[in-house]
Amino acid sequence: MTIVVRFAPSPTGLLHVGNARTAMLNWLFAKKEEGKFLLRIDDTDTERSKKDFEHAILEDLAWLGLTHDTFARQSERSDAYRHAAEQLKASGHLYPAYESADELERRRRRQVAMRKPPVYDRAALTLTSEQRAKLEGEGRKPHWRFKLSQTKVRWRDLVRGDVEIDTAHLSDPVLIREDSRFLYTLPSVVDDVDFAISHIVRGEDHVTNTAVQIEIFEALGAAVPVFAHFPLLVGAGGEALSKRIGSLSLQEIRADEIEPLALASYLAKTGTSDAIELRPSLEALVQEFDFAKVARAPAQFDPAELNVLNAKLLHSLPYTEVQARLSALGIPSSEAFWEAVKANLTHLSDAKDLWTLVAGPVTPVMEDATLLGKAAELMPPEPWDDTTWGAWTKAVSAATGAKGRALFHPLRLALSGRESGPEMKKLLPLIGRERVLKRLKNQEA
């Protein structure tokens, strides 16, 4: 059997990290099993779906490296949904109901007041053809509900194990609105059938939906896919993530200069038994993927942890991979500079700030003028290399008696204006003798 999975975002908001994790797990599973990954845009909500959001979704997934094998839009598949609806009507699985939203709400309140579950009572099934004709003559248009079996639906979930949902406790779901628009459920199942989706990998908030969808698969005479429902990703404080409020959107994360592999590593490993550590490539993440590693507890998304991974990634990058990006930041081509500063970066743009330590302007901090004066006298001639700092500070120590912090701290403050930063032995040759002398003499340079 060919493994085929799908990621089906709605273009009603920006993609947030919770959605991206769903895409990531689907993509990793497909690649691990040498299967296919379908990207399906679920745009049946014509009022809220926007092309700008669709474009943003495509851009974000491409940035993350999650390429798709097949692409589809639900807005282009209405004929398939209408055909399936007619099939379900003919088989008696789809029936018309005429209650207004207000009537349904009043009925729900009565049930709650009587301490009964607020489940649709199937009153529409008792209507005679004459009663239906009368309602339609009054201008009412039906919405269409799927008739659940009111039995227990069972499946073996790849994450949750054996799952059982009693559909007797559920309302018959509305699949078609009064204005003939399809809700999410039917198009989703029809697409899964038509695109031969073998596995549906999604968040556990869809578990109850799964029981309903299994019955629709069966009513259409289609094979039921294998399901895997993983715990949701929540914020660092346990709050739910929502694309409607833009929380932790990939657009925001990209603006914060997180590297795509850092985010991919985080999304693939958070909420699993594996340590949250940087992996060298997407391929490495593919090889390590296993549903058995997915934990049952909600996974927390902590931006601080992501920043740690991002820093580790930057610290490992060779100059050839960042040269063009450094140039775009206005930093002249210099492998020596990259090697000097990369261990101090959390985001690549931090390099622009650190470039001022070389090119200036730096305002010196004069902690020990006597020591700095002696250091200026003992400054060796150029050319300099990474041994110059050690030889120079040794000479200054011998002349002044200063050691440890008393030696190095005044020099760092004078040369960089900062308490900490890149190794001075690497920075010194880049700053150059002329600027070093000016800074030792308390001149901005």
d(CA 175, CA 172): 9
- Is the model's pLDDT at 57 over the cut of 50? yes
Residue 300 pairs in a beta bridge with 234
pLDDT confidence tier of residue 247, bands split at 50, 70 and 90: low
- Is the model's pLDDT at 245 over the cut of 50? no
Q: Is 361 exposed, middle or buried (0-12, 13-18, 19+ CB in 10 A)?
A: exposed
Residues 44 and 124 in one domain: no
Q: Which domain CATH number covers 118?
A: 3.90.800.10
Q: Which residue, of 213, 234, 255, is where some domain finishes?
A: 234
Residues 66 and 194 in one domain: yes
pLDDT mean over 304-331: 96
Query: Prior bond to 231 cis, omega within 30?
Result: no
Residues 53 and 202 in one domain: yes
- Is the model's pLDDT at 400 over the cut of 70? yes
- 248 domain residue, yes or no: yes
Domain count, the chain: 5
pLDDT mean over 242-247: 52
Residues 340 and 258 in one domain: no
Mean pLDDT for all residues in the chain: 95
- 127 domain residue, yes or no: yes
Which pLDDT tens digit goes with each residue over 197-238?
Answer: 999 999 999 999 999 999 999 999 999 999 999 999 887 777
Using DSSP bridges, classify how beta strands 233-235 and 152-157 pair: parallel, antiparallel or unpaired.
Answer: unpaired
pLDDT mean over 413-421: 97
- 445 domain residue, yes or no: no
d(CA 230, CA 299): 10
Residues 188 and 64 in one domain: yes
pLDDT confidence tier of residue 242, bands split at 50, 70 and 90: low
* Residue 32 · residue 291 · CB < 8 Å: no
Q: 351 Cβ partners below 8 Å, 6+ apart?
A: 326, 329, 331, 337, 338, 341, 342, 345
Q: 362 Cβ partners below 8 Å, 6+ apart?
A: 356, 415, 416, 417, 435, 439, 444, 445
Q: Which residue, of 359, 391, 414, is where some domain finishes?
A: 359
Residues 354 and 419 in one domain: no
Residues 55 and 89 in one domain: no
- Is the model's pLDDT at 46 over the cut of 90? no
- Is the model's pLDDT at 398 over the cut of 90? yes
Residues 63 and 133 in one domain: no
Residues 323 and 398 in one domain: no
Q: Which domain CATH number covers 391?
A: 1.10.10.350
pLDDT mean over 57-81: 97
The count of C-alpha atoms lying within 13 angstroms of the C-alpha of 271, restricted to the half-sphere facing its C-beta, is 26
Does the CA dihedral 156-157-162-164 come out positive or negative? negative
Q: How many CB atoms within 10 Å of residue 256?
A: 14
pLDDT of residue 239: 78
Does the CA dihedral 408-410-412-415 come out positive or negative? negative
Residues 61 and 200 in one domain: yes
Residues 309 and 248 in one domain: yes
Residues 67 and 206 in one domain: yes
Domain that holds residue 112: 80-151+158-176
- 380 domain residue, yes or no: yes
Q: Which domain CATH number covers 60?
A: 3.40.50.620
Q: Is 333 exposed, middle or buried (0-12, 13-18, 19+ CB in 10 A)?
A: exposed
pLDDT of residue 248: 83
Residue 73, H or E segment: strand 70-73
- 364 domain residue, yes or no: no
Q: 40 in helix, strand or coil? A: strand
pLDDT mean over 150-158: 98
Instruction: Output the six-digit token pair for 120.
Output: 């649709």
- 98 domain residue, yes or no: yes
d(CA 22, CA 34): 18
pLDDT of residue 236: 77
DSSP state, residue 197: -
